[in-house]
Structure 1
Amino acid sequence: MIIASNFKTNHTRASARAFVEALGAPKCEVRVFMPFTALDNFETNCQIKMGAQNFYPVQSGSFTGEIGAEQLEEFGIQSVLIGHSERRHILQEPTTLIRQKFAFAVVKNWEIVYCIGEPKEVREEGFEAVKAYLETQLEGIDMAYERLIVAYEPVWAIGTGLSASVEQIQETHQYIKTRLSAPLLYGGSVNANNVASIVGLKECDGALIGSASWKKEAFLEILNHTTQGEIR
């Protein structure tokens, strides 16, 4: 079971350190994706890994404002988010760059949390449209990569307070599982109240969580409910 916190544009170095220190020794695997300015050399339990929300697919070079592998390696970062909907839709990150990032991370042997998910208008067209949309996001991605984790995050449920129903999550995860053998997480307004029912699904291997995970007390509560919900 993998539970990941995506800090997005939140936390400072001091608050991130307090968050990580509060985690102790969790009973499941934990990932914390924090802003670049909050990265540090943390001493953590082996179940906890720090991750980067973004990177540019170079070791180093002349790319003003970007962060390359050299900067991440200084902090021992080996887990990265790729393809998050906020980068795809808000920051207009093109599919070509997403694929370049994926290929670069494979060469670096980093753990990849690769995000996929459909917008509201696609979901409203029906499940066949959802499957076709997800296929476009999986195209050109090495789904056999041994350090791959996929996160299904319906765009319409991210930061909206709306989570997909358990039935929708199960149906979509069942389909995605036919395409890969990697761990499959769910993301989209996951919180302490619904996490147990979500991670209790046979097809769900954990959760990628945004705003509900930013306060350490809330994240610890989520971890507690996760352990209760894990029925496999």
Structure 2
Amino acid sequence: MAVASTSLACPQYSGLRRSCCPKLDTCSLSISTTQSFFQNVHSHLRLSSSPHKACRAVVTMAGSGKFFVGGNWKCSGTKESISKLVTDLNSAKLESDVDVVVAPPFIYIDQVKNSLTDRIEISAQNCWIGKGGAFTGEISGEQLKDIGCKWVILGHSERRHIIGEDDEFIGKKAAYALGQGLGVIACIGELLQEREEGKTFDVCFKQLKAFAESVPSWDNVVIAYEPVWAIGTGKVATPQQAQEVHLAVRDWLSKNVSAEVASKTRVIYGGSVNGSNCADLATQEDIDGFLVGGASLKGPEFATIVNSVTSKKVAA
């Protein structure tokens, strides 16, 4: 679906911008600088201490779909530990009105699919840009469908900034995955330096634009806003900071795709989400769920995050 305009929408929101549409910076990190990059994120994170106001009062979930919680297991686990995690998930009591998805490493997808309750759907963590063939080390959308995957995570910051995938490449991967009947969890988010320079919206809108120019439909897309400085660092955006970006994403969709897509598309938050902070985050109107990293490897805590939908209901 082509975007309605090639220009980036520039709403003014407090605390994130210094000027309207400053020149976009691109970030490319070589694998050799990966360690220093993450050390910098851990050591030098500085969040604004100024108060933020929610963009509008909490009424209900803005996206018209159900609350959505995904667990990204990344490159973690063994046959034994994953068997224990699956047992914990199978015995967990999960609220019924939540779409729950987990993304095991490729080599454990079959194990998880054959042992996990049907209540939880399976996602892959990545896929190739097109049909399978002579692409050593890659996994095609057709293969993911064949093994029972319903979703795939694309555009995660670790793929962008460690592996070097660019916006256009990620957008094309999303289009192909959707064409194969997979749902796409489309990740966007800014680096610490980009936030500090007031470029959060510019970066997120640029990444959104690449998806919008490629995907044929948004019906099976969930957008995951994951500020890079909050992923795996223990640092999490305040509920107000997260809400501010989520609302801006929805506003961009309304202006550049359609009001219907803006209303229906779920926008979830990721970045050190855990059992302690999920309830407060869930109360924000435009936070429609979570993409969870480390906490998704702990069955009881992941269940707590899934069940934080109750906080959304109370806020409504």
Q: Scaled by the length of structure 1, what TM-score is found? A: 0.91
CA drift at 1:98: 0.7
Correspondence 1:171-182 to 2 at 5 A: 171-178=244-251, 179=253, 180-181=262-263, 182=265
Moved beyond 6 Å, runs of 4+:
none
More displaced 10-residue stretch of structure 1: 93-102 or 81-90: 93-102
**Residue from 141, 146, 162 that aligns with 2:219:** 146
Give the 3-state SS of the residue equivalent to 2:211 in structure 1. coil
Stretches of structure 1 that go unaligned for 5 or more consecutive residues are none
Compute the displacement of 1:170 (Å): 1.3
Aligned 8 A contact 2:70 2:292 in 1: yes
Report the equivalent of 1:83.
Answer: 155
Q: Contact 1:152 / 1:184 at 8 angstroms: preserved in 2?
A: yes
1:26 to 75, 89, 94: 94
Whether the 8 Å contact between 2:141 and 2:177 is mirrored in structure 1 is no
Query: What's the % identity of the aligned pairs?
Result: 37
Higher relative contact order (CA 8 A, sep 6+): 2
Give the alignment partner of residue 115 of structure 1, picking from 174, 184, 187: 187
Q: Which residue does 2:202 correspond to in 1?
A: 132
8 Å CA contact 1:17–1:42 kept in 2: the answer is no
Query: 1:205 maps to what in 2?
Result: 288
Is 1:229 aligned to 2:301, yes or no? no
Give the structure with the higher percent strand. 1
Deviation at 1:13, TM superposition (A): 3.8
The amino acid that maps onto 2:238 is S
| Counterpart in the other structure of 1:217 | 300
Q: CA deviation at 1:94?
A: 2.2
Aligned residue number for residue 133 of structure 2: 61
Is the contact between residue 119 and residue 154 of structure 1 (CA under 8 Å) also seen in structure 2? Answer: yes
- Deviation (angstroms), 1:68: 1.4
Q: The residue matched to 2:210 in structure 1 has which SS?
A: coil
The amino acid of 2:100's aligned partner reads V
- Counting only pairs closer than 5 Å after superposition, residues 148-163 of structure 1 correspond to structure 2 as 148-163=221-236
**Partner of 1:39 in structure 2?**
109
- SS class of match (2:114): coil
Query: Residues 202 and 46 from structure 1, CA distance in 2 versus in 1: closer, same or farther, beyond 3 angstroms?
Result: farther
- Higher-Rg member (1/2): 2
Greater CA drift, 150-159 or 215-224: 215-224
Decide which moves more: 35-44 or 11-20: 11-20
More divergent stretch after superposition (63-72 vs 32-41): 63-72
Gap regions ≥5 residues in structure 2: 1-66, 254-261
Contact 1:184–1:205 (CA<8 Å) still a contact in 2? yes
Matches of 2:166 and 2:204, distance apart in 1: 15
Say which SS state the counterpart of residue 121 (structure 1) adopts: helix
When normalised by structure 2's length, the TM-score is 0.68
What secondary structure does 2:122 align onto? strand
In structure 2, distance between residues paired with 1:211 and 1:199: 18
